[in-house]
Chains A and B, each alone.
Chain A
Amino acid sequence: MSFVDLTNQTASQSASYADSHAAVSPPVFELRDLSVFYSAFRAVRDVNITIERNQITAFIGPSGCGKTTVLRSLNRMNDLIEGARVDGDVLYHGIDIYGPDVSPTVVRRHIGMVFQKPNPFPKSIFENVAFGPRVNGVKKKADLEAIVERSLQGAALWDEVKDRLHTSGLGLSGGQQQRLCIARAIAVEPEVILMDEPCSALDPIATARVEELMQEIKSSYTIVIVTHNMQQAARTSDRTAFFTAEINPDSDRRTGILVEFDDTKKVFSNPSDERTENYVTGRFG
């Protein structure tokens, strides 16, 4: 499956696209002047970010700064909200995912998501992981079993659940449930995994396990994570984007803006922007 094949083009079309771009492969994501609106309200404006392959990118910032909104715009999750629309470009391997021919379902197959609260389906562990591949047309039991094992191993959960694959996913601990959700996300072989505060409901041990997992899988995936925990962003990510909220002069609504996007080490040791400096040192203005 080619990751540029967002519109169910024929294989030869996407192959020719890949060939023509082989010399300079475009980044995984390129956000150009992205604004996201909820009806008339502009939640975030003018975001420019480039996300490279096999990197972990962290979005940090105070509540209401638009980081989750931007994350959700990367796989068209905001489409599910009435009145939500984007302005500017979200280019995925050079292709505008909001283009007229692009199917949101296909986008989400390439770009998986893990949510703040573990949300396994009320089904068995096996079925949780097999669900996506089954929807994508995998029918043979042996194939599904192979995918389930590979995905659970990828999410570092296999050894803990291999003897109870057919018990409910809801019977697992919180940390295990979150890793089950990661297994479910990687079962459909996405290229990108979006994580929206994936550890905020987990204890430190489960958090450490998920962070370790992120490092293990980053050679195969590109990860974007929203986190309120600055230490987590510092520990896990290669690049960090700091967002903040500006109060609109004409109303008291706040619009999110991207302040700084740089190497994580730079952001936490010597940020360029004073607003980043104030935020990471706990002096909020």
Chain B
Amino acid sequence: MIEDHRSPLHHGLDDLQAKIIRLAWTTGEVVTRSTNALLLSDLFEAQLIIDADDDTDLLSVEIEELCFELLVLQSPLARDLRLVVASMKINSDLERAADLMVNIAKATRRLHGTVIPPKLRGQIRLMGDEAAKLLRFSIDAYARQDGALGAAVRDIDDTLDRLHREFVSAIFESHAATDLGLQVAVQLALIGRFYERVGDHAVNVGEWAEFVADGHRPEHRGAVRAREKQRLAQAALDPMNTDAANNE
């Protein structure tokens, strides 16, 4: 039998996970609600979403405080430490994702009275569903500490990226072919971008869930390139380095 000798830490971690899941659930809900508000041009719902963002911000601040408190008072290690570090990062990603959806609620006001062409409406619906799905998968991976699912979110995000590209092309087409104004076109392009960004945040959440599960952080290509550049620069400065000498 395993005895728990650090129950204050582990209760704190349970609380932390519950809060993160609540934040993720709220964010996922906001994705769906903002999409509906936009497509139904529901100004009342849009206002509710905008007002409720303060509560989301508060939850995010509470999560931050809890992480800091656990680090200071409980010195977590191993998986516990990974969980706290990952939760801090996931917290930021979810909070940003919720903000992006609030931007869509705000865009609902700006687009009020505009008729969005049916094709674009359909694409907005698809992007909204896809973004909500990605958030759901990523937080499932976190809650169940499922590294494989966390990593899979990265691949699944390809669909949302493709939808986003198609949406932008469709905006151009509509702008050229119909009387879709430039202002509306720009507003819609931004909305597409907001969904695409939510997908990227979900990918980050999935990657951090992977880190909690097995300690693995996927290498980011840019960072790998920069590290290799640093290594070469260092090697070039080292007079004993034969590789550098041979290269000259």
Contact residues of A with B, CB < 8 Å?
230-231, 234, 268-271, 276-278, 280-285
Dominant secondary structure of chain A at its interface with chain B:
helix
Q: Does B9 contact A (CB under 8 A)?
A: yes
Q: Are B215 and A270 in contact (CB under 8 A)?
A: yes
Question: Nearest residue in A to B8 (C-beta to C-beta)?
Answer: A282
* Interface-located stretch among B22-30, B73-81, B132-140, B182-190: B73-81
Establish whether residues A281 and B2, one from each chain, have CB atoms under 8 Å apart when the complex forms: no
- B2 touching A277, Cβ below 8 Å: no
Question: How many B residues, CB 8 Å from partner?
Answer: 18
Q: Provide the bound-state CA to CA distance between A285 and B5, in Å.
A: 10
27 contacts between A and B (CB under 8 A): A230-B77, A231-B75, A234-B77, A269-B77, A270-B78, A270-B79, A270-B82, A270-B215, A277-B78, A277-B79, A278-B2, A280-B78, A281-B6, A281-B76, A281-B77, A281-B78, A281-B80, A282-B4, A282-B5, A282-B9, A282-B10, A283-B3, A283-B4, A283-B5, A285-B1, A285-B2, A285-B3
Known A283-B3, A284-B3; judge A269-B215 contact (CB<8 A): yes
Residues of B within 8 A of A268 (CB): 77-78, 81
CB distance from A226 to the nearest CB of B (A): 18
Determine how close the nearest CB of chain B comes to the CB of A275; give it in whole angstroms.
Answer: 10
Closest 7 CB pairs of A and B: A282-B6, A270-B215, A285-B2, A280-B77, A282-B5, A280-B78, A281-B80
Residue of B nearest to A276 (CB): B78
Interface of chain B: mostly helix, strand, loop or mixed:
mixed
Contacts of B1 in A (CB 8 A): 285
A270 to B82, CA, bound (A): 8
Residue on A with the closest CB to B74?
A: A282
Docked Cα-Cα span, A271 to B215, in Å, equals 9
Within the complex, the shortest CB–CB distance from B141 to chain A, in Å, comes to 17
Interface string of B70-108 (1 = CB under 8 A from A): 000001111111100000000000000000000000000
Asked, given contacts A269-B215, A270-B215, whether A283 binds B78 with beta carbons under 8 Å apart, the answer is no
Contacts of B2 in A (CB 8 A): 278, 283-285
Contacts of B215 in A (CB 8 A): 269-270
Report the minimal beta-carbon distance from B65 to chain A, rounded to whole angstroms: 22
Interface string of B1-41 (1 = CB under 8 A from A): 11111100110000000000000000000000000000000
Chain A residue contacts of B78, Cβ below 8 A: 268-271, 276-277, 280-281
Give Cα distance in the complex from A106 to B202, angstroms.
Answer: 63
Chain B: minimal CB distance from A58 (Å): 14
Inter-chain pairs besides A231-B75, A280-B77, 14 sampled, C-beta below 8 Å:
A268-B77, A268-B81, A269-B77, A270-B79, A276-B78, A280-B78, A281-B6, A281-B76, A281-B77, A281-B78, A282-B4, A282-B6, A283-B5, A284-B2
Instruction: Identify A281's interface contact among B3, B79, B214, CB under 8 A.
Output: B79
Asked whether B4 lies within 8 Å of A269 as measured between CB atoms, the reply is: no
How far apart sit A285 and B76, CA to CA, in the bound complex (Å)? 18
Task: Report Cα–Cα, A285/B1, bound state, in Å.
Answer: 6
B75 nearest CB neighbor, chain A only: A231
In the bound assembly, the distance between CA atoms of A231 and B6 in angstroms comes to: 15
Q: Which residue of B lies closest to A282 (CB)?
A: B6
**A227 smallest CB distance to B (angstroms):** 14
In the complex, A181→B82 CA distance in Å? 38
A280 to B2, CA, bound (A): 13
A231 CB contacts on chain B under 8 angstroms: 75
Residues of A within 8 A of B81 (CB): 268-269
A278 to chain B: closest residue by CB: B2
Query: A276, A278, A281, A283 — which one has the most chain B CB atoms within 10 A of its CB?
Result: A281
Chain B residues with CB under 8 A of A230: 77
- Cα A133 to Cα B10 with chains together (Å): 52
| A285 CB contacts on chain B under 8 angstroms | 1-3
* Chain A residues closer than 8 Å to B9, beta-carbon distance: 281-282
Residue of chain B at shortest CB distance from A268: B77
Residues of chain B with a CB closer than 8 A to A278's CB: 2
A234, A283, A284: which has the most chain B beta carbons within 10 Å? A283
Taken together as a complex, chains A and B put the C-alpha atoms of A284 and B76 apart, in Å, by: 15
Q: Are A269 and B5 in contact (CB under 8 A)?
A: no
Instruction: Give Cα A260–Cα B96 distance, bound, in whole angstroms.
Output: 40
Q: Give chain B nearest CB distance to A242 CB in angstroms.
A: 11
Kindly provide the distance from the CB of A274 to the nearest chain B CB, expressed in whole angstroms.
10
